[in-house]
Amino acid sequence: LLPGTEMRIVSLEDPARDAEPGTDGEILIRGPQVMKGYLGRADATAAMIDEDGWVHTGDVGRADEDGWLYVVDRVKELIKYKGYQVAPAELE
């Protein structure tokens, strides 16, 4: 990450909590280089950037115990199946 940049991976089932190492979750970032929002589109900004300044990237990833990040999917491509967020490829 760039200096001053923060990253979190949050649970797909409960975005209020961080995902455990090795567990897939949505990648969030914030920092001085991150956009403030969409010009004239407050609704789009609110859907992507939360009140704490975290940008919800829509990318699904996991971090291992050493901090390496693996991007594995997209949130919008996930299907809710029996209460779990599942990638379509896993259902095939």
* Chain segment 69-86, per-residue pLDDT in tens: 999 988 877 777 777 877
Assessment of whether the complete model's pTM goes beyond 0.95: no
Query: What's the pLDDT score for residue 92?
Result: 62
Task: Report domain extents, the chain.
Answer: 6-91
Residue type at position 30 = R
* Chain segment 15-55, per-residue pLDDT in tens: 999 999 899 999 999 999 999 999 999 999 999 999 999 99
Cβ atoms 57, 21 nearer than 8 A: no
Element (H, E) at 62: strand 55-63
* Chain segment 53-63, per-residue pLDDT in tens: 999 999 999 99
CATH C-level class of 6-91: mainly beta
